[in-house]
Copies of this chain bind each other. A is one copy, B any other.
Amino acid sequence: MAQVVRISDIAQYEGQEVTIKGWVYNIRSSGKLRFILVRDGSETIQCVVFKNDVSEDSFSAADALSQESSLIVTGVVAADKRSPLGFEIQVKEVEAIQIAPEYPISKKEHGTDFLMDHRHLWLRSKRQHAILRIRHQIIHAAREFFDNRDFILVDSPIFTPNAAEGTSTLFETDYFGSKAYLTQSGQLYAEAGAMAFGKAYCFGPTFRAEKSKTRRHLTEFWMIEPEAAFFDLQDDMQLAEDFVEHLVMSVVKNRRKELEVLERDISKLEAVKAPFPKIHYNEAVEILKKNGNEFMPGDDFGAADETVISQQFDRPVIVHHYPAAVKAFYMKRDENEPEYALAMDMLAPEGYGEIIGGSQREDDYDTLLKRLKEHNLPEEAFKWYLDLRKYGSVPHSGFGLGIERTVAWISGIKHIRETIPYPRLIQRLYP
């Protein structure tokens, strides 16, 4: 063995002998030559085995290899203009580690259920690599954005005693004899964080037991939720647009190769510059009317409505001032038009729909208590939340961004199930 290197670093070793440890991505033979496309997780590289250059053992090891067999290859790094990487390996030695039986995922088309049943293997494909590297970049950029702005990470709990929106879409578990619910959002706790640190965020998995079988829904998904004291709706919308611009630019800058693998139209991402268009709910309703959508003013938008609205713009659009009646109890109302909440949703372009939901929060104790009662929520469970309006209440706002929907949009893929390593859907709990 020579020095073990990652394929992604191969350019540094031109002309040198190196060792690569990985798996067979593809193999073909031609006379005395074997062309092994090896992947090591960082990249793939062609390894050329010429019978006259290697021992008999090495050549028969190469001959025994199948797709996804594991191996160790030693050879010399040579420039090769035909390779996307610019290099290939002229092999001196091949050692097979384990020979794989016929790999279940072949080049032919597979049904989604089949691929999902083999998700643990499907993750090895180029396309899934590209998506998950983009996911990693988005999560990295999201933390970077808030860390650089002095937001403090205040993790919200997953087990909660109270159900902010009723219990019908909550997963429930026995908690040493009492009931606990899995969080749907860390927001209420993030608000306490904002009162402690001025600016706080939480980031973790959230859960919805919704029976929605759409391409936008998962039962388990990740959300990042900033919350800031002395922030009004305007501040909140500006934070949201700066944030989303940062995410998109970070992917465009650092994951261009992955976007190309996915055949993403990068020019559409490059157009995503703040400020974003911001329209009142009533303006959004006008757009729906003009486009002939059947829509009852006063309702919340459905996925089809969001698509029509978002298609009017070349970058994300923020819709604000939704009717208070269709929004959550904790949202503050506009004192000048009290039937509207100081709420905002950000809709991604190209029909991707809502990626952010946020609002200015009700900061008056008595009003919040009234809203709790209107929503038939138990005052006792929200005592701590009411305390935030009792001890130093201030205007404050925040939002939640869904990681998977954002990954889907930026990657340009249709269904959210490929945006998370192990998607959980109504009928999908395996692997």
A residues apposed to B, CB below 8 Å? 4, 6, 8, 21-24, 40-42, 68-70, 97-98, 100-101, 103, 118-121, 123-124, 128-129, 132-133, 135-136, 139-140, 143, 147, 150, 152-161, 171-176, 178, 180, 182, 189, 192-200, 204-205, 207, 209, 211, 219-220, 222, 229-230, 363, 383-385, 387-394, 420-422, 424, 426-427, 429-431
Q: Give Cα A385 to B422, complex, Å.
A: 13
Asked if A220 and B98 make an inter-chain contact with CB atoms under 8 angstroms apart, the answer reads no
* Interface majority SS (helix, strand, loop, mixed), chain A: mixed
A194 (CB) vs chain B CBs: closest residue: B41
Also in contact, A6 and B198, with CB within 8 A (given A161-B429, A391-B100, A421-B193)? yes
Q: A172-B174, A174-B172 are in contact. Are A220 and B123 (CB under 8 A)?
A: no
Q: Which residues does chain B contribute within 8 Å of A192, judged by CB atoms? A: 120-121, 123, 431
**Set B69, B150, B211: member contacting A8, Cβ < 8 A:** B150
> Which of A24, A209, A429 has the largest number of chain B CB atoms within 10 A?
A429
In the assembled complex, how far is the CB of residue A429 from the closest CB belonging to chain B, in whole angstroms?
5
Q: Shortest 4 CB-CB distances between A and B: which pairs? A: A41-B198, A384-B431, A41-B197, A157-B422
User: In the bound complex, do residue A153 and residue B136 qualify as a contact, i.e. CB atoms below 8 Å apart?
Assistant: yes
Looking at the assembled complex, report how far the CB atom of A8 sits from the nearest CB atom of chain B, in whole angstroms. Answer: 7
Residues on B with C-beta less than 8 A from A424 are 157-159
Please tell me if the beta carbons of A220 and B100 are within 8 angstroms of each other in the complex.
Answer: no
Q: Could you show 26 A-B contacts with beta carbons less than 8 Å apart? A: A21-B229, A21-B394, A41-B152, A41-B198, A42-B150, A68-B392, A97-B393, A100-B390, A101-B391, A103-B391, A118-B387, A121-B192, A123-B154, A128-B196, A129-B196, A132-B153, A132-B154, A155-B421, A156-B421, A157-B421, A157-B424, A158-B158, A172-B173, A176-B209, A176-B211, A192-B431
Smallest CB gap from A179: residue in B: B429
Chain B hits for A180, CB < 8 A = 429
Shortest beta-carbon distance from A12 to chain B in Å: 14
Q: Report which of B119, B420, B426 forms a contact with A176, defined as CB distance below 8 A.
A: B426
A105 to B, closest residue via Cβ: B391
Distance A128 CA – B100 CA, assembled complex (angstroms):
53
Q: A155 contacts B420, CB within 8 Å?
A: yes
CB distance from A90 to the nearest CB of B (A): 22
**What's the Cα separation between A327 and B256 when bound, in Å?**
44
A211 to B132, CA, bound (A): 37
Given the complex, which residues of B lie within 8 Å of A182, measured CB to CB?
A: 173, 182
B6 touches A150 (CB 8 A): yes
Question: Could you tell me if B143 and A140 are in contact, using CB atoms closer than 8 angstroms?
Answer: yes
Closest approach, in angstroms, between the C-beta of A147 and any C-beta of chain B?
6
Contact of A173 among B68, B173, B204 (CB under 8 A): B173
Output the least CB separation between A146 and chain B (Å). 10
CA distance A366 to B157 in the complex (A): 40
Give Cα distance in the complex from A391 to B124, angstroms: 11
